[in-house]
Homo-oligomer: A and B are copies of this chain.
Amino acid sequence: MKEFEMINRYLAIDSGNRKDVIKGVGDDCALLKVPRGQRLAVSMDTLIADVHFIADSNAADIAHKAVAVNLSDLAACGAEPAWITLSISMPEFNEEWLASFNKGLKRIVEFFGIQIIGGDTCRGPLSITIQAHGFVPEAVFNTRSGAQVGELVCVTGPLGDAALGLMAAKNELVVPPSIASQLLKKYYTPYPRIAAGIALRGRATSGIDISDGLLADVSHISGQSEVGVLLNWEDIPLSDAAKSIDDEEIVMKAALSGGDDYELCFTVRESELEATRLALETVGTECFPVGRVTGKAGVRLMYNKEELELEHMGYQHF
């Protein structure tokens, strides 16, 4: 068997047999059916070795993360994932690496019931581009631009773990091994909040996934909604692992500006908070109000009863 065919075998996982895939991998194009009444939501992200993931980390985790990051964009919009395309460039043919990559890919694809419908393979520096495709009725598509003054800003889970895990992996933070492994799990294998995104349909007035850090991502909501946001540091949820770290400055920086958490951030009318909390609870997700939408432009933070004006502190691509 040729190397090229082997790579295709590893990537074109035959796990899916979705009825909306008329023709999947193997022709010039895939042919797909978007169900009646649904709109197509798509998002594309590229992950580059040693920019977005650690090149020599577990290939199964790299596959997981590449898919998760893309599905997370669907979650932010309330879309239900259906298909992905995957283009991978690799410096060399490495069967062991591919087998591991395949394992991680298969696991997350099966977990979310999605199907790989095409892609590309070539030789080059390690990078992975994925496009995720999902369905959502037009009326409940969640954007960044619907936040209104007075609404609550909420997140779906603890923040900062992924960034702290990355610091631990780089030996920039010394923590006990059990803590490090808890934190790193969030960095390597995040689970996008798909069910939460769907539960928020028609409830959230705006939404985004936290990929670049809370401040950076909430600033997209505030910018595109033309409102301000006042966050309360005391309300930002932290995991027990993060709470066990003594250095508050490091934890704060990770929780506010660390990327890779892939929780959702959304706004909701205060009168809808309890209903929203219940809707999220039914899909096993908590709801943490962390601030409020204000009329004063920009993102600010209440810390020790002081209001701090904040620069964008999130991840910048350039």
Q: List the interface of chain A (C-beta within 8 A of B).
A: 2-4, 7, 22-23, 26-34, 39-46, 48, 51-52, 73-74, 76-77, 79, 85-87, 89, 93, 117-125, 127, 129, 131, 133-134, 136, 138, 141, 143-145, 207-209, 224, 316-318
Contacts and interface: CB of A to CB of B under 8 A. Distances in A.
Contact of A29 (B2, B52, B76): B76
A86 to B, nearest CB: 8
A40 B42 CA distance: 13
Given A4-B317, A124-B125, A317-B122, A39 B28 contact: no
Contacts of A27: 77, 143-145, 224
A77 B29 contact: yes
A220 B117 CA distance: 18
A129 B125 contact: no
A42 B32 contact: yes
B118 A43 contact: yes
21 contacts: A7-B318, A23-B143, A27-B224, A28-B208, A29-B73, A30-B41, A30-B42, A31-B39, A31-B138, A32-B40, A43-B118, A44-B118, A44-B119, A44-B131, A51-B122, A51-B123, A120-B129, A122-B317, A125-B127, A127-B127, A129-B129
A30 B86 CA distance: 18
Number of copies: 2
Nearest to A43: B29
Contacts of A224: 26-27
Given A29-B43, A40-B40, A120-B129, 10 more contacts: A7-B318, A27-B144, A28-B43, A28-B77, A30-B42, A32-B42, A33-B138, A43-B118, A51-B123, A85-B131
Contacts of A74: 28-29
Given A28-B77, A74-B29, A46 B318 contact: no
A141 B31 contact: yes
A308 B237 CA distance: 71
B22 A138 contact: yes
Give the most central of A7, A127, A224: most B CB within 10 Å: A127
A87 B130 CA distance: 10
B124 A23 contact: no
A30 B3 contact: no
Contact of A46 (B89, B144, B209): B89
Give the most central of A29, A76, A117, A318: most B CB within 10 Å: A29
A45 B46 CA distance: 13
A110 B213 CA distance: 36
Contacts of A317: 4, 121-123
A131 B86 CA distance: 10
B209 A28 contact: yes
Contacts of A40: 31-34, 40
